[in-house]
Amino acid sequence: MFVDKVKIFVKAGNGGNGAVAFHREKYVAAGGPDGGDGGQGGSIVVKVDDNMSTLMDFRYKRKYQAAAGQNGEGGRRAGKRGENLIIKVPRGTVIKDAGTGAVIQDMSELEEFVLCKGGRGGWGNKHFATPTRQLPRFAKAGLPGEEHEVILELKLLADVGLVGFPNVGKSTLLSVSSNAHPKIANYHFTTLFPNLGVIWVDDGVSFVMADIPGIIEGAAEGAGLGHDFLRHIDRCRLIVHVVDASGSEGRDPVEDFEKINRELAEYSPELAARPMIVAANKLDLLPPESDNLERLRAHVEAAGLELYEISAATTQGTRQLMRTIAGKLQELPPVIIYQAEYVKPLAEAGEAEDLSIEHFGDTWVISGQWLAQLINDINFADYESRNYFDRQLRRSGLFTKLEEMGIRDGDTVSIYDFEFDYER
C-alpha cells in the first residue's frame, strides 16, 4: 500500500534527576556532597532512508518516544544519557506542524534532523555546596523532553510530472522511456500510486519522471485518485500534459486538456503556472478522417505551449520528446526545496499555586510542569530572553507567593539549572 501522509506524535526523553548523596569513606572527614547529575534525555532524530518509498511504516504506529536519561548517583557519577530515537523517512518527506500546517523541515537534502531535543539532566547536590551551604540536601529534577504532533507528507522528488486523464498512456510512456515497470492495462485507474522512473538521455544527462495517477474532473475537491496524489507534482520543474489525441474513449482531446488544467489551477495556481509541454499520445489509434490532432495543436499553441506528437505504445516520437524535456530542464531552476517556516511558540507561565516550592535555609528550590517547559525555551545568555523569563514569573504571581512565605533579599532562588539572588 502506498501511504504518503500520516500524523504522528513524538516525544523526546526526559532528563534524569540529580542525586542527593554525601561522600562516605573511612578516615575521610567531611567528605561533602557528591551527588551526580542526571543524564540527558534522548532526542527524536529524523533521518532519510533512500530504501524507503512510502510512509507505510507509520500507518499503525503513531507514537514515538525516546529513552529518558538515567538518574545521577553518589560518588559524582552522572546518569547515563538516554539513547536517541532514529525515525527513518523517504527522501522528499516534508515535516509539518499538525496544528498550523507550517513546514518544520524538508527532508530532501539533510541526512539527519533533530525534531525534538531531549531534556537536560538535573544537577546533583554537588553543585549547590557553598561556604555557607556545606551540606545541601537537595538536587534538581531533570527537564522534560520536547514533544510535538507533526504531519509527515511525502512529496516525490521528480523533475518531470506526467499528468492527464486516466488511460491516456502515462504509464506506457514512463515504461518505454525509463527503467520503471508500472502496471499497464486498458482500464481506468490502473495506476494506484505514483511511479518514478529515471530517464537516461545521454552520458551525464538524465532526469527523474513521475507518473501521477489519473486526475479526473473534480480532483481538486477530492474526486477520484488525483486529489490524493496532486501533491507529488508540487516539486516538479516541468509538467508534461499527456492527452489522448485519438479520442479512443469518446472524449474530446481539447476538452480533456482544459479540464485537467482547471484542476491544476484549482489545486494550486502556482502549479498551474509551472512550465508545461503537451504530448499528443495514441497517434497510432487516430482515425484518418479525424481532425482531433489539428484542433488540439491549434488550441495548445494558442495558449503559448508546445505540442509533441507521440505514440507511447509504438515508441513513435518518445525518444525525441525525452531529449526535448532534458533540454528544457537545463534552463529551469532546480527541484523545489521547502524552507522551514515554523516558529515554535514560547512557553507561557501558569499559576504559582501549581508549583512546588521547597525551603532549605537561605535557598528556595522551585519546580513544576509549566516552569520546566518555560525554562526549556529560555536562552539565559540573551538579555531579551531573560527579560521574558522575568516577566512570566512575575505574571504567575511567584514572587508574591515567595514573599508571603518569607523570602528575604539575598536568598537564593534555584529553578532547575538556573539560580539567582532574590531582590525586591
Same domain (yes/no): 292, 143: no
Same domain (yes/no): 24, 108: yes
Average pLDDT of the chain, as a whole number: 87
> Which of 267, 296, 329 is at the close of a domain?
329
Q: What is the pLDDT of residues 66-109, one digit of tens each?
A: 999 999 998 889 999 999 999 999 999 999 999 999 999 999 98
Count of structural domains within the chain: 3
- Does some domain include residue 288? yes
Same domain (yes/no): 180, 127: no
pLDDT tier at 62 (50, 70, 90 boundaries)? very high
pLDDT tier at 189 (50, 70, 90 boundaries)? very low
What integer is the mean pLDDT of 268-293? 91
> Which of 329, 359, 389 is at the close of a domain?
329
Q: Domain holding 397: CATH number? A: 3.30.300.350
Same domain (yes/no): 168, 312: yes
Beta bridge partners of 88: 47
The two beta strands, 363-367 and 147-154, are unpaired
- Does some domain include residue 213? yes
On the question of pLDDT at 305 being above 70, the answer is yes
- Does some domain include residue 190? yes
Looking at residue 186, the DSSP 8-state letter turns out to be S
What integer is the mean pLDDT of 48-72? 92
Cell for 237? 520543474
Cell for 424? 525586591
Does an H or E element contain 154, and which?
A: strand 147-154
On the question of pLDDT at 124 being above 50, the answer is yes
Q: What is the dihedral of CA 347, 350, 352, 356, to 10 degrees?
A: -70
Sign of CA dihedral 103, 107, 113, 118: positive
Same domain (yes/no): 406, 263: no
On the question of pLDDT at 191 being above 60, the answer is no
Same domain (yes/no): 138, 168: no
Which residue type occupies 307?
L
- Does some domain include residue 351? yes
Beta bridge partners of 403: none
Percent of the chain with pLDDT strictly greater than 70: 92
Distance (Å, whole) CA 211 – CA 214: 9
How much of the chain is helix, strand and coil, in % rounded to 5? 25, 25, 50
Q: What SS3 state is found at 34?
A: coil
Boundaries of domain holding 36: 1-154
On the question of pLDDT at 151 being above 60, the answer is yes
- Does some domain include residue 167? yes
Neighbours of 310 (CB within 10 A): 25
On the question of pLDDT at 132 being above 80, the answer is no
172-to-35, 72, 153, 183, 195 alpha-carbon distances in Å: 70, 63, 27, 9, 11
Q: What is the pLDDT of residues 355-373, one digit of tens each?
A: 999 888 888 989 998 999 9
Q: What is the pLDDT of residues 83-92, one digit of tens each?
A: 999 999 999 9
Q: What is the dihedral of CA 311, 316, 319, 322, to 10 degrees?
A: -20
Same domain (yes/no): 66, 172: no
Same domain (yes/no): 366, 385: yes
Same domain (yes/no): 225, 318: yes
pTM of the model: 0.80
pLDDT tier at 224 (50, 70, 90 boundaries)? very low
- Does some domain include residue 253? yes
CA–centroid distance for 392 within its chain? 31
Same domain (yes/no): 214, 238: yes
The beta strand positions in 12-146, using DSSP E, are 44-48, 63-65, 85-89, 93-97, 103-107, 112-116
Q: What is the pLDDT of residues 199-213, one digit of tens each?
A: 998 888 899 998 887
What integer is the mean pLDDT of 273-294? 93
Same domain (yes/no): 143, 175: no
- Identify the pLDDT of residue 192: 52
What integer is the mean pLDDT of 259-280? 88
- Does some domain include residue 338? no
Q: Domain holding 85: CATH number? A: 2.70.210.12
- Does some domain include residue 337? no
The two beta strands, 44-48 and 112-116, are antiparallel
Burial class from Cβ neighbours inside 10 Å (0-12, 13-18, 19+) for residue 388 reads middle
> Which of 294, 329, 364 is at the close of a domain?
329
Q: Which residue in the block uniquely carries the three cell numbers 533533530?
A: 114
- Identify the pLDDT of residue 111: 80
Same domain (yes/no): 42, 57: yes
What integer is the mean pLDDT of 315-325? 94
Cell for 287? 482515425
Higher-confidence position of 270 and 308: 308
Q: Domain holding 282: CATH number? A: 3.40.50.300
